[in-house]
Amino acid sequence: MKKIIAAVLAIMMILSLVAAVAEGTPRIAYVPKVIGQPWWDHVQQGVEQWAADNGIDVIYKGGTTVDAAEQVQIMTDLVNQGIDILCFSPNDPDACEEICKQAREKGIIVIATEASGMENVDYDIEAFDEAGLGAFLMDELAAQMGEEGEYITMVGSMTMESQNNWADAAVARAEEAYPNLVLVDDKRVEDNSDAQEAYNLTMQLKEKYPNLKGILGTGSFDAPGAARAIEEMGLTGQMFAISVAMPAEVSDYLISGTLKSVALWDASVTAKVQLNCAMALFNGQAEKIEEGTDLLEEGYHSVHIADNGKGKDFIYGDGYLAVTVDNWESFGF
Amino acid sequence: MNTAKLKRMTRRTEFYMLIVLILLIALVQVRSGGKLIALPGVFTRLNVTVLRTMVVDGMFAMCSLVVMISGGFDLSFPAIAALSYSLTTTLCLNNGWCQSSPIAGLLLAMAIGWVLGMLNGWIISNFKLNTMIVTLGTQTFFTGISMGLLKLKEITSTLPEGFKAFGKLYIFESADPASGIRFTLSAMVLFLIALCAIVSFILNKTMFGRALYAIGGNEVSAERAGYNVKRTKFLLYSAVGALAGFIGMIRVCMESQSIPKAMVGKEMTIIPAVILGGASIYGGEGTVFGTVVAVGIISLVSNSMLILGIDTYWQQFFNGLVILVGVTVSALQAKRQKH
């Protein structure tokens, strides 16, 4: 009797295994810019939730420092392990082109985010178009500065494509709409995605440009670091800073009034959309993502398609918002 | 001053570093339009920022210095600091500790650091392994505990008030005459001064200090001369661990945030600074004064890049140059002394 039960169980196990393979559950990997930072912890939660909702495992693997070489190494390992879908957010898009090319030659579906200029991907997905966010940051900062005075732009690193594109768009917006805003000589500084460095830079900038009134930051460390310096200099209400930031990280400064607003989109939703898009391509539901396609998340029910300037399409949704002292608590992170 | 003394002085790395520092001060002073030194008042907005940067780097450099004098390398002190403060702030946050005073947190971080340092000390003194390899291993191990096992998170706005208030303490406040911008000299500078005095005293006036120089000079001779090499090394690495925990906590207070991965790679800026300050990579040599001068040079450069009009990329170039020059000088001196 025992033998029969054992045999039946064994056959069932084999059959279920065959069924699983036949159904074609893809092996998926998600590579963030870095792990162990709140922004990416939040993305990780989104990816894990997606995995639970869809009943598909996702390998979530990233470096402990913001390092292009380390990230490429991780991606190379994953591609060689044999995966079907690779979603990622590159530290240096150019550095990732070669491994993405190899991945696609192996038939792996490659979906990027924050790298609209990349060539060797199936799609790049953005929460919004870069010009839109850049203009949004500038509009917010200009209103705080009373539409006049000296300002500078700040990025995490000069190699971070999207942050530099936002900064470019913000400068373009200022030139077009705010004639009394003056970009100082240094134009752009980088803080290595470190709030302490953003603090030091703000101190130095104010030393070099005594009339500096605004810092248009991009990465999530820029505004908190700049705000600490502004507070310490006793310049709350006279000097302003903005960037994309996590609500809980800047709540002190929103409450004290040093920061009037920061910009945000929900990166965990973008990550889920990357996975949804990859699944649509993997299951053959769509050959191509078209204008108006529903990628199954809030803000992405009717996506936009744009040319990246190199003859390749990328996808974007409608996803940015202003976080202020009134609404920061509603985000829960 | 007699010629022999002058000759001896010019042989020391510290002497050249001091000249470099003075030239650099002059350069920044000129390029910034007199903002670095403004007599009759001692402090300016620029120099208090430089001093502030020196606090954590300078104290870490003391850790590195004592280890290098004993002929070892400690690559793990930033990882010890990070694990100590991340665990401390997480415990304080979860239990509601340190809302008014940071003292319990500082002691807790020191205790954690001490335990971690003891692990280094135990391995190094018992198995007589290469210190660089051991601490490279423990560095990764400690980072793994912090990020993987305990999954410690960043703590920013929710950091206990006691730490935030402590980090904002200052001993001098003034306003920039030109712009009216407020600036303060952080009270944390006192910890740097105190630590330098203590390390200097230990190195020059105690048996423990003599033991470090002796072991670094020649371990076998030191052992034969009656120094307890094993115990000295164990004490050294555990003390450095406790100190690293303390320094990490000071950094958390100064920045009002606890970021588990903020220390990654810190050893690669601190150790070159200590070498630049005259400590020998072969052990047995190094002074508190030289180390402070070297940290001063690096802090001054990193805080005046924009004012000097140097592109941020060049800072990496400069840091690389520091390593090359420091190591070359140290190696040449060791060679000359052998002959």
* Token representation of residue A218: 């991009």
> To the nearest whole percent, how much of chain A has pLDDT over 90?
67
What's the alpha-carbon Rg for chain B, to the nearest Å? 21
pLDDT of residue A273: 95
B276, burial (CB in 10 Å: exposed 0-12, middle 13-18, buried 19+): buried
Give alpha helix (H) positions in B187-339. 189-205, 207-217, 219-224, 229-255, 267-276, 288-308, 313-338
Give alpha helix (H) positions in chain A. 2-23, 38-54, 68-81, 93-105, 130-144, 161-177, 195-208, 222-232, 247-256, 267-282
A95, burial (CB in 10 Å: exposed 0-12, middle 13-18, buried 19+): middle
pLDDT of residue A8: 67
Facing residue for A208 by CB, picked from B157, B178, B306: B306
Contacts of B147 in chain A (CB under 8 A): 35-36, 64
Rounded distance between C-alpha atoms, residue B26 and residue A40, angstroms: 44
CA distances from B307 to A192, B28, B46 (A): 19, 8, 10
Q: Which one-letter amino acid corresponds to residue A332? A: G
pLDDT of residue B22: 93
Testing the interface with A: which of B44, B90, B156 to mutate, by most A Cβ within 10 A?
B156
Facing residue for B303 by CB, picked from A204, A234, A249: A204
**Partner-chain contact A194 B265, CB within 8 Å:** no
Q: What residues pair up with A322 in beta bridges, in sequence order?
A: A263
**Partner-chain contact B157 A250, CB within 8 Å:** yes
Rounded distance between C-alpha atoms, residue B317 and residue A126, angstroms: 34
- CA angle, A227 then A229 then A233, to 5°: 115
Strands A313-316 and A304-307: antiparallel
Contacts of B256 in chain A (CB under 8 A): 228, 252
| Domains of chain A, CATH where assigned | 24-127+266-318 (3.40.50.2300), 130-264 (3.40.50.2300)
**Partner-chain contact A64 B307, CB within 8 Å:** no
Could you tell me if A118 and A100 are in contact, meaning their C-beta atoms sit under 8 angstroms apart? yes
A201 touches chain B (CB under 8 A): yes
Rounded distance between C-alpha atoms, residue B325 and residue B296, angstroms: 16
Q: Where do we find the tokens 């920013």? A: B156
Q: Where do we find the tokens 């440009």? A: A209
* Token representation of residue A257: 């009034």
Facing residue for A189 by CB, picked from B46, B181, B312: B312
Residues of B with CB under 8 A from a CB of A: 32, 35, 45-46, 49, 53, 143, 147, 153-154, 156-158, 178-179, 181-184, 255-257, 259-262, 264-265, 302-307, 312-313
pLDDT digits 0-9 by tens, A282-326:
998 878 899 999 999 987 988 999 988 888 899 999 778 899 999
Facing residue for B147 by CB, picked from A64, A224, A249: A64
Q: Where do we find the tokens 């820029």? A: A222
pLDDT of residue A94: 93
pLDDT tens for chain B, residues 1 to 339: 577 877 777 777 788 889 989 998 999 999 888 888 887 778 888 899 999 999 999 999 999 999 999 999 999 999 999 999 999 999 999 999 999 999 999 999 999 999 999 999 999 999 989 999 999 999 999 999 998 899 898 898 899 999 999 999 999 999 887 778 899 999 999 999 999 999 999 999 999 999 999 999 999 999 999 999 999 999 999 999 999 999 999 999 999 999 998 888 899 889 989 988 989 888 999 999 999 999 999 899 888 888 888 776 777 787 778 778 777 877 787 777 665
**Partner-chain contact A235 B181, CB within 8 Å:** yes
Segment A244-263 shows an average pLDDT of 93
| Domains of chain B, CATH where assigned | 3-338 (1.10.3470)
pLDDT band at residue A252 under the 50/70/90 scheme = very high
**Partner-chain contact A204 B307, CB within 8 Å:** yes
Rounded distance between C-alpha atoms, residue B202 and residue A85, angstroms: 59
Which of A:219-278 have CB within 8 Å of B? 224, 228, 232-235, 248-252
Could you tell me if B78 and A65 are in contact, meaning their C-beta atoms sit under 8 angstroms apart? no
**Partner-chain contact B312 A35, CB within 8 Å:** no
Strands B170-175 and B182-186: antiparallel
Contacts of A250 in chain B (CB under 8 A): 157
pLDDT digits 0-9 by tens, A179-235:
999 999 999 999 988 888 999 999 999 999 999 999 999 999 999 999 999 999 999
Question: Quick one: how far is CA B176 from the chain centroid?
Answer: 29
Rounded distance between C-alpha atoms, residue B138 and residue B73, angstroms: 12
DSSP character string of A32-71: -S-SSSHHHHHHHHHHHHHHHHHT--EEE---SS--HHHH
Could you tell me if A206 and A233 are in contact, meaning their C-beta atoms sit under 8 angstroms apart? yes
* A226: closest chain B residue by CA: B255
pLDDT of residue A22: 41
pLDDT above 50 (res A19): no
Contacts of B303 in chain A (CB under 8 A): 200, 203-204
A67 touches chain B (CB under 8 A): no
> Among candidates B3, B131, B146, which has minimal Cα distance to B67?
B131
pLDDT of residue A23: 54
> Among candidates A17, A42, A24, which has minimal Cα distance to A32?
A42
* A37: closest chain B residue by CA: B154
How distant is the Cα of A4 from the closest Cα of chain B, in angstroms? 44
Burial profile B106-119: b = 16 or more Cβ within 10 angstroms, e = fewer:
bebbbbbbbebbbb
* B178: closest chain A residue by CA: A210
Of the two residues A73 and B269, the one the predictor is more confident about is: A73
* A208: closest chain B residue by CA: B307
* B143: closest chain A residue by CA: A64
Facing residue for A196 by CB, picked from B156, B182, B255: B255
Testing the interface with B: which of A206, A233, A238, A246 to mutate, by most B Cβ within 10 A?
A233
A163 touches chain B (CB under 8 A): no
pLDDT of residue B208: 96
CA distances from A146 to A17, A237, A241, A243 (A): 65, 11, 13, 18
Q: Which one-letter amino acid corresponds to residue B80? A: I
- CA dihedral (B138, B139, B141, B145) in degrees, to 10, reads 130
For the question of an ipTM over 0.95, the answer is no
Facing residue for A207 by CB, picked from B35, B154, B257: B35
Burial profile A260-278: b = 16 or more Cβ within 10 angstroms, e = fewer:
bbbbbbbbbbbbbbbbbbb
Q: Which one-letter amino acid corresponds to residue A156? A: G
A157 touches chain B (CB under 8 A): no
Facing residue for A65 by CB, picked from B157, B181, B264: B264
* B307: closest chain A residue by CA: A208
Could you tell me if B24 and B47 are in contact, meaning their C-beta atoms sit under 8 angstroms apart? no
